[in-house]
Amino acid sequence: MSKGISRRDFLKGTAAGAMAVAASSLFGGFTGLAAESSDGAAIYTPGTYTASAKGLQSDVTVTMTFDETSITEVIVDASGETPEIGGVAADELARKILDAQGSEIDAVTGATITSKAAQEAAANCIAQAKGTAAPASEDGKEAASSEDWLGEEPEIDDADVYAEVSADVVVVGLGLAGVAAARRAGELGASVIGIEKSAAPNCRSGEYAVINSPKLNERWPERAFTREEVDEIVDSHMDESSYRVKRSIMKKWADNIGEAFDWWMEGDPNLFIADETRQAIEDENAEDFLVPIFRPLPTWTDESGNVHEYNWKEERFPCYPTSVEFLPSQAACFNSNWQVAVDTGNVESYFGHFAKKLIMENGVCVGVYAYNDNPESDQKGKYLKVTAAKGVILTTGEYGSNDMMMNHFAPDVMKTHANNRLFTSFDVNGLPTNQGDGIRMGVWAGAKVQGYHAPMIHHMGGGADLSGVGVMGNAGFLNLDMDGKRFMNEDLPGQQLENQVEQTRLMTSWQFFDANWPSQLGHFPAAHGGACYFEDYKSIDEAPKNNQTYRNWKSPYQLEAAIADGRCLTADTLEELVALVYPDDPKAQATALVQIQRYNEFAEAGYDEDFNKPASRLFPLNTAPYYADAFTTAIMLVCIGGLESDENCHTYTEIVDENGRYIPGEIIKGLYVAGNIQGGRFGMEYPIGLKGVSHSMAMYYGKVAAENAINGI
C-alpha cells in the first residue's frame, strides 16, 4: 500500500536540505531512455507528483516532474533530517533518482535511512505518474480512515488470469519463515510454489535465540540448559508479554529450536562458528560467520578481589545467554538455505508477484491469486492463480509500514513513532514489503487477528553512530530528563527504558557518567544494547580482525569519536557539563546538580531511596572528565501482531458469540502461518530477554508449518 501523498508541503527550491535536479540543465538534455517503453509509447501522465516517507527524524519528501516517457525533475526535501547526515544527502539522492530514472538507487553512504525514505517516496511518485497509486485528500492524508484498514476483498476475473499453476504447498512470502518453509517442504519431497513481491528472497540483521543446540552445546557447554531452566525462560517470556501470548507456542519453540537451528546451519556448509563474541576472523570467513553473543560473560572485581560474573538468575529483567549472531548479517546463511531449497528441484518461485486473495472452497484454503507486477514479465498487470493440494503457508510478515493498519492496531505508537519507523526490505516497486498483506487476506478468508500487538522499539542508547549504536548503549548510568530530574530506575532493558523515556517532557533525557566508566561497565547486565565490556583500544585497528566492533564492547577511541562528532558532551566539572546539557535553562541546571548530588549520596550509602536501583550499579559522578549523551525515542522496527494461531501454525476463524464478543472459532483448514504473521508469539511489547527470538521463531515455525501442511496436521 502506498503512503498518502501531500502537496501541502510542496518544496521551495531554496529550502535547506532540499535539492531540485532538472534533466535538461544537469544532464545535457538526458531524456531518461531507460524509462521509455520499447515502442516510445507514453508510460506516464505528465505532471508533478509529491510523496513522503519516514526518514530517521522526519518525513523525507520527494517531488518529481514527468513528461510522457521520462522523469524530468527531482526534488528531495530532507531538511528535517540530521543536518550533517541526512540533510546533506538530499542533492545526491535527487541526482541518483534522476540518473536512474527510477527509485532503485544505491543508498548514500552514511545516510541509509534517509536514502530508503527517498527511495520509497520516489516509488510512490512513479506509481502516481503511472496511475497505480491513489491520490491523497486535500489535507494531505489518505482518504481512508484507520477503520478502513481492511478494505474490500478484490474480485478477480478469470480473464485477468495469465496462468494457473499448482503444487502441494504454496508459500506466500519468501522472507526468513518462507525460505525455511520452502526448504523443508522441498526436501521432504513436496512440490512447492513460492510467491514473493520482492525481486528475490530477503532478510535483515542476524540475531537468533537458540536453546540447547546439540552442535553448539558441544562447543559452548556452559550454555546447556536444564528442563527447569527452559521452563523458567518460557515463563519469563510470558511475563514480559503480560500473558497475552500462548505458552504452547513458546514452549514448543524452546524445546525444539536447538535441533532446528542445527538444521538451519547445515544449510550453510561455509559457515564459520567462532568460540567468542570478539574472536578474530580470518579473511576467508569474513562474510559468513557466527558468534555467540556475550561469550565470555562480563565480569567485575569487588574491593576484596573477588571476581563476579553476570548471572541471569539474579536479574529482575534477565537476559539469557542463549543468543548468537550471524555476521556481517544472516544474508550468507539465508541465501545458502534458499539455494538448498532450490536444489531439491521441488521449489518454483514467482518474484514480483503480490498475493492478493486466498482461494477458499467450502471453508478450506486451496490457493491464492497473485498479481504480477514484475517489470521484466510480459504478463505484468495480470494475475497468477496458484492452487495447493496440501496447504497455503502465509509468511508475509507484519504491517509496520502500513499507516492505516498502524493507526488501527497501534494508535498510541503512531502518536509517537509515525515518522520514526524503519524497514529495510523492498518490493519490486521500491516500497517496504511489510504492508500487512497476509493479515488482510486472512481476515477476508474469515481469520481472526490477535489482540494486543507488540511494537518492537528497544532503545540502544544515546548519541548513536551511523550503525545505530549509542555512546554507552543503554547501560544503566544516571539518567536525567529535560528538567534535570531523575525519573526512573536506570537498570532496565532497552524496551522498558524506551517506555520510560517516552513519558518524559519532550521525550528526551540525558545519560551521565564520569571518567571511571571503564571499570564500571562489567557491573552492567549482559543485555541487548547495553555497554558491559571494556576494551582498551586506541583505534579500531587494534580490534579483532574482521570483527572490529560489537555494540556491547566500548573503547576509549569510540568515546573520543563521539565527542568529536558532537554525539557526546564532556567537561571538567559538573557545573560546566550541565550548562552544556541545559543551555539557557538555569533552573534545569540547578535541578540537575541537586539530583546528581542526591544520586552520589545514594551510591555512597548503597541504597537508592528514590527508584531502588541495585547498589552494585550505583556509581557516583565524582571523577573528571564528565560526560553526557542524549536519549531520544528509539526507532520502531516492526509491529508484531498476526492471525490467531497455535503451536501447529493453524489459523482460526473469528466468530461472534451470543454475547456479541468476537472470539476464535474453528481451525481454518489448509491455511498455515509462520513468522510475524503468526499470532500468539508476542503481545503488548517485544520482550528482549531472548535476543533474536523473533528470527528464531520465524525460522522454526516456518519449518513446522511445512511439516504440518505436508502431513495434514
Could you read off the pLDDT of 511-566 as tens digits, one per residue?
999 999 999 999 999 998 999 999 999 999 999 999 999 999 999 999 999 999 99
- Tens-place pLDDT, residues 405-414: 999 999 999 9
* Averaged pLDDT of the chain: 89
Q: What is the rounded CA–CA span in Å between residue 178 and residue 395?
A: 5
Q: What is the rounded CA–CA span in Å between residue 111 and residue 601?
A: 43
pLDDT for 39 beyond 90: no
Burial 230-258 (b: 16+ CB within 10 A, else e): bebbbebbbebbeebbbbebbbbbbeebb
pLDDT for 28 beyond 80: no
Helices (H) and strands (E) in the chain, counts: 17, 26
Provide CB contacts within 8 A for 482, sequence distance 6+.
504, 505, 506, 508, 509, 582, 588
Q: What is the rounded CA–CA span in Å between residue 485 and residue 481?
A: 5
Mean pLDDT, residues 53-77: 88
DSSP 70-117: SEEEEEEE-TTS-TTTTGGGHHHHHHHHHHHTSS--PPPTT-HHHHHH
Question: Which secondary structure element, helix H or strand E, spans residue 711, and what is its range?
Answer: helix 693-711
- Tens-place pLDDT, residues 664-692: 999 999 999 999 999 999 999 898 899 99
Gyration radius of the chain over CA positions: 26
Q: β-strand 18-22 against 364-372: which pairing, if any? A: unpaired
Confidence bin at 574 (pLDDT 50/70/90)? very high
Measured torsion, CA atoms of residues 650, 653, 654, 655, in degrees rounded to the nearest 10? -140
Lowest mean pLDDT among 41-50, 91-100, 397-406: 41-50
Q: What is the rounded CA–CA span in Å between residue 5 and residue 50?
A: 6
Q: What is the rounded CA–CA span in Å between residue 105 and residue 144?
A: 31
Higher pLDDT, 116 or 347: 347
- Tens-place pLDDT, residues 409-448: 999 999 999 888 989 999 999 999 999 999 999 999 999 9
What stretches of 241-383 show up as alpha helix (H) in DSSP? 247-266, 331-343
Mean pLDDT, residues 602-627: 97
- Tens-place pLDDT, residues 492-519: 999 999 999 999 999 999 999 999 999 9
Mean pLDDT, residues 98-112: 81
Are 6 and 409 within 8 A, CB to CB?
no
**134 DSSP 8-state letter:** P
Secondary-structure breakdown of the chain: helix, strand, coil percentages, each rounded to the nearest 5 = 30, 20, 45
